[in-house]
A and B are shown apart, each in its own frame.
Chain A
């Protein structure tokens, strides 16, 4: 199932009746097996867009839909979301957190346990099944979040700055891990980040958003094979992508520095 966004608009109105046009005329699709990153300065509406795709934020106008493949019977698309602040349920153990989405889908206990085990193993947390989130480090919590999202075998994986709350070293490690996991699943992914390097390291295509209103400023296809992006002789090329994106974002990011102080 392709994900299709058509003329998506989002306007917020604050208490004083002031309207903010957060997203304007977003037309975008995520193809099968594609890792699409959305990059933009703070306040560009990238998380809002992801929220709308997940059905957690209402659209002001436009539509977001999944296109069925030939012969595919329509079913509610399963969407796995990895949140920035992990959003694990503190009262559930690792095991039960990972099982959560399966529980909602009313999948039997035995299958649930089994699938959760596999995922927990894949994110390298075997042995921690019975721990509670507060007993884990930030990086481990985020792994649980990733396992929870993948457990439902989503039609679309959404990640909202999944690495931003982590320290630089853990972030680097988890990024590599995320890529390894992604290569195994090759699930169509929408990845929101403000970190340009992260986007260039991971994505097939990168959508650069402007801010206020958030509009698609550019769509770049990263032509370097993913596996080679960390190789030394590819670094000039990687840096070139990064520079290109930064040039697109810079002035907006500078504005955001001042405008974010509101009320």
Chain B
């Protein structure tokens, strides 16, 4: 008698085994984490439902934690009166500009550190010393230098992105598989060709890891900078609604940040798949 079960079933046919047998059983069932795909959807939906009920029945006050419905309403009205777009636009410009400045300079200087021993000797201690400074602390200095306005916020985002990208680019270059470098050199590749054709592609995965770390940090420092001093922007918006006690609108801002963060991560992942089809 044999149980013709579905895959992965331990069908050591218990009933048919004679008494003088010890059956080998599958020992790792506790690690088989199997769950159908719909569990996720249902799970999230029911959490939202419980949340909504908690606030509809007044278990949680609307002022503390508004339910999904009133947050949605707030979002709709903010879209309609145009304030949402205004704030998102302000934030996007800052984060995109800052990110690009930080990422590009991080990659360039990281490459330079990676190739030039002198630059590395001089630059690394400086970079190591500057890196631990919380970048928000330099905003007052930046304002002193270039005045208030958009530039300090953009530059502080850039500074935050710069370091992880710099360090990762550097280590990507330094850790290029020497075997690949030897392979290229054996075919007579000249230094510049070798850098372009071997060291750069080999470092790209590490560089991208740095870009991803930078993306998360940039959002953090952007919001903080906007809360310190900005008219518009998601950070400023959250602060304003908080002082007005308009919790649903505040929550819209928080959720926007989640969406923005997800979009950035997804976008980077997509670019990575385009640029690095050979990975994995």
| Interchain pairs with CB closer than 8 A, number | 75
Chain B residues within 8 Å of A60, by CB: 5, 7-9, 11
Min Cβ gap B152→A in Å is 48
Known contacts A53-B24, A58-B26, A68-B22; decide if A11 and B7 are in contact (CB<8 Å). Answer: yes
Min Cβ gap B38→A in Å is 16
Known contacts A7-B2, A63-B17, A65-B17; decide if A58 and B9 are in contact (CB<8 Å). Answer: yes
What size tier do the contact residues of chain A reach?
A: 20 to 34
Which residues between 9 and 61 of chain B lie within 8 Å of chain A, taking CB atoms? Answer: 9-13, 16-17, 20-29, 32
Min Cβ gap B207→A in Å is 26
Which residues between 62 and 106 of chain A lie within 8 Å of chain B, taking CB atoms? Answer: 62-68, 74-77
Min Cβ gap B139→A in Å is 45
Q: Give Cα A7 to B2, complex, Å.
A: 9
Residue B190 CB within 8 A of the other chain = no
Chain B residues within 8 Å of A65, by CB: 12, 17, 21-24
Known contacts A7-B2, A58-B8, A60-B8; decide if A1 and B22 are in contact (CB<8 Å). Answer: yes
| Main SS class of interface, B | loop
Chain A residues within 8 Å of B21, by CB: 4, 65-68
Q: Give Cα A13 to B6, complex, Å.
A: 10
Residue A219 CB within 8 A of the other chain = no
Residue A170 CB within 8 A of the other chain = no
Residue B243 CB within 8 A of the other chain = no
Chain A residues within 8 Å of B13, by CB: 63
Residue B186 CB within 8 A of the other chain = no
Q: Give Cα A11 to B21, complex, Å.
A: 25
Closest residue to A72 on the B side, CB-wise? B20
Residue B4 CB within 8 A of the other chain = yes
Partner of B11, one of A13, A62, A77: A62
Min Cβ gap B267→A in Å is 24
Residue B80 CB within 8 A of the other chain = no
Min Cβ gap B9→A in Å is 7
Chain B residues within 8 Å of A66, by CB: 21-24
Partner of A61, one of B2, B17, B32: B2
Residue B116 CB within 8 A of the other chain = no
Residue A225 CB within 8 A of the other chain = no
- Residues of B with Cβ closer than 8 Å to A? 2-5, 7-13, 16-17, 20-29, 32
Add 11 more A-B contacts to A60-B5, A76-B22 (CB < 8 A): A58-B9, A58-B10, A59-B10, A61-B2, A63-B13, A65-B12, A66-B21, A66-B22, A67-B21, A68-B22, A75-B22
